[in-house]
Structure 1
Amino acid sequence: MKTPVTSVIPAFLVSLLAALILSGCTTLPAQEAPADVHGLLSGTAILGEPVDPAALPDEQLLSLTPEMRALLARVAPGRSPDARLAALIRAFDEQSFHVSYEADATLTAADTFHQQRGNCLAFTLMMVAMTRELGADAYFNEVDVPPVWSSEQEQTFVVYRHINMVSQGRRGRRVVDFNLEAYDPLYDQRRLDDREAFAQFYSNRGVELMQQGDAAQAFLHLRKAIDLKPGSADLWANLGALYSRAGHRELAESSYQQALALNGGHLVSISNLERLYRAEGYTKLADIYAARVHYHRERNPYFLYEEARTAYESGDYKTAQKRLSRALRLYEDDHRFHFLMGLTSLRLGRVKSTREHLTQAFLLAESPSVENVYARKLKAISEGELQLEFRETHDRNLPRVQGVLELDYPRSF
Structure 2
Amino acid sequence: MKLFRLILVFLFSAGMMACTNTPKSTAVYSPQSLLMDENFAGFEKFKVESEHEVFALDDEMMHFAEKVSAGAAEPKVAARQLVRAVFGRADLNLLYANDANTIARDTFHNRAANCLSMSIMTFALAEQAGMQIEFQEVDVPEFWTRRDGYSMLNGHVNLRISPKLSPNSIYFNPQTVEVDFDPQVASAKLPTRTVTKQRVLAMFYNNKAADALVNNDAKRAYAYSRASVLQDPSLAEAWVNLGVLYRQNGLLDEAERSYQRAIQLEGSRSAKENLAVIYNLTGREKQAALIMQELEQQRTNNPYYHFLLGEQEYELAHWRAAIGHYRRAIELNRQQHEFYFGLAKAYYEMGDLALTERYLKLAKRRSVNDHDEHRYQSKLNLLTKL
TM-score, normalisation: structure 1: 0.63
2:160 aligns with 166
> How has the CA–CA distance of structure 1 residues 59 and 137 changed in structure 2, closer, same or farther, with 3 Å as cutoff?
closer
Distance 2:216 2:294 in 1: 32
Q: Which residue of 2 aligns with 1:241?
A: 244
Shift, 1:268, TM fit: 1.0
1 CA distance for matches of 2:48 and 2:96?
A: 28
> For 2:138, which of 131, 143, 165 is the aligned residue?
143
Once the two structures are superposed, the pairs formed by residues 322-333 of structure 1 within 5 Å of their partners are none
Counterpart-to-counterpart distance in 2, 1:152 and 1:97? 27
Q: Supply the distance in 2 between the matched residues of 1:76 and 1:148 (Cα, whole angstroms).
A: 35
**Which amino acid is 1:75 matched to?**
V
Correspondence 1:107 to 2:102: yes
- SS of alignment partner, residue 172 of structure 1: coil
1:230-269 matched pairs, under 5 angstroms: 230-263=233-266, 265-269=267-271
Aligned-pair CA distance for 1:272: 0.8
Q: Where does the alignment leave 5 or more consecutive residues of structure 1 unmatched? A: 1-9, 18-32, 328-335, 341-364, 378-384, 401-413
Q: Distance in 1 between matches of 2:64 and 2:145?
A: 42
Q: In structure 2, how many angstroms separate the alpha carbons of the residues matched to 1:339 and 1:291?
A: 23
2: CA distance, partners of 1:152 / 1:48 = 27
Within-5 A mapping of 1:288-307: 288-298=290-300, 300=302, 302-303=304-305
Aligned partners of 1:166 and 1:174 also within 8 Å: yes
1:222 aligns with 2:225: yes
Alignment partners' CA distance in 2, 1:315 and 1:12? 26
Indicate the residue corresponding to 1:116 in structure 2: 111
Show the counterpart of 1:74: 67
Aligned pairs, number: 321
Task: Give 1:130's match in structure 2, choosing from 125, 131, 147.
Answer: 125
Supply the distance in 2 between the matched residues of 1:396 and 1:306 (Cα, whole angstroms).
19
Aligned pairs (5 A) from 1:241-390 = 241-263=244-266, 265-298=267-300, 300=302, 302-303=304-305, 314=320, 337=331, 390=359
Quote the Cα distance in structure 1 between the aligned partners of 2:99 and 2:363: 24
Structure with max Cα Rg: 1
Q: CA deviation at 1:194?
A: 1.0
Structure 1 residues 178 and 212 mapped into 2: Cα distance closer, same or farther (>3 Å)? same
Whole-Å separation in 2 of the counterparts to 1:15 and 1:339: 17
Task: Decide which moves more: 92-101 or 75-84.
Answer: 75-84
Q: 1:339, 1:178 → 2: CA distance?
A: 21
Aligned partner of 1:58: which letter? S
Equivalent residue in structure 2 for 1:187, among 187, 190, 205:
190
Residue 397 to residue 174, structure 1, CA distance change in 2 (3 Å): closer
Paired AA for residue 106 in structure 1: N
Counterpart CA distance in 2 for 1:203 and 1:137 is: 26
CA contact (8 A) 2:104 2:117 kept: yes
Mapped partners of 2:119, 2:232: distance in 1? 19
Report if the CA contact (8 A) 1:145-1:160 is conserved: no
SS of structure 2 residue aligned to 1:216: helix
Q: Contact 2:116/2:204 (CA < 8 Å) preserved in 1?
A: yes
Identical positions, percent? 25
Question: Is 1:178 the counterpart of 2:181 in the alignment?
Answer: yes
CA deviations 1:275-296 (Å, max 9, x no partner) are: 1222344323322333332332
1:246-291 residue CA offsets vs partner (Å, 9 max, x unmatched): 332222122112222333x321111112112223443233223333
Shift of 1:59: 3.9
Q: Which sections of structure 2, spanning at least 5 residues, go unmatched?
A: 1-11, 20-26, 164-172, 314-318, 345-353, 373-386
Query: Within 2, Cα distance between the matches of 1:284 and 1:197?
Result: 38
Q: What one-letter code is carried by the residue in structure 1 that aligns with 2:50?
A: D
Select the structure with the greater relative contact order (CA < 8 A; seq sep ≥ 6): 1
Q: SS of the residue aligned with 1:131? A: helix
User: Is the 8 Å Cα contact of residues 148 and 396 (structure 1) preserved in structure 2?
Assistant: no
2:205 to 199, 202, 211: 202
Matching of residue 58 in structure 1 with residue 60 in structure 2: no
Is 2:87 the counterpart of 1:84?
Answer: no
For 1:244 and 1:67, how far apart are their aligned partners in 2?
Answer: 44
Secondary structure at the residue paired with 1:135?
Answer: coil
Question: Could you say what secondary structure the match of 2:176 adopts?
Answer: strand
Aligned counterpart, 2:39: 45
Match of 1:212 among 208, 212, 215: 215
Measure how far apart 1:205 and its partner are.
Answer: 1.0
Letter in 2 for 1:266: S
Q: Distance in 2 between matches of 1:272 and 1:282?
A: 13
Q: How far apart are residue 105 of structure 1 and its match?
A: 1.4
Aligned equivalents of 1:238 and 1:47: distance in 2?
A: 19
Q: 1:252 to 1:174 in 2, by over 3 A?
A: same
2:305 maps to a residue whose letter is F
Query: Would the aligned equivalents of 2:17 and 2:156 in 1 still touch at CA under 8 Å?
Result: no
After superposition, what is the alpha-carbon deviation per residue over 1:295-319, rounded to whole angstroms, capped at 9, x for unaligned?
A: 3233646536877999xx95999x8
Give 3-state SS (helix, strand or coil) of 2:35's partner. Answer: helix
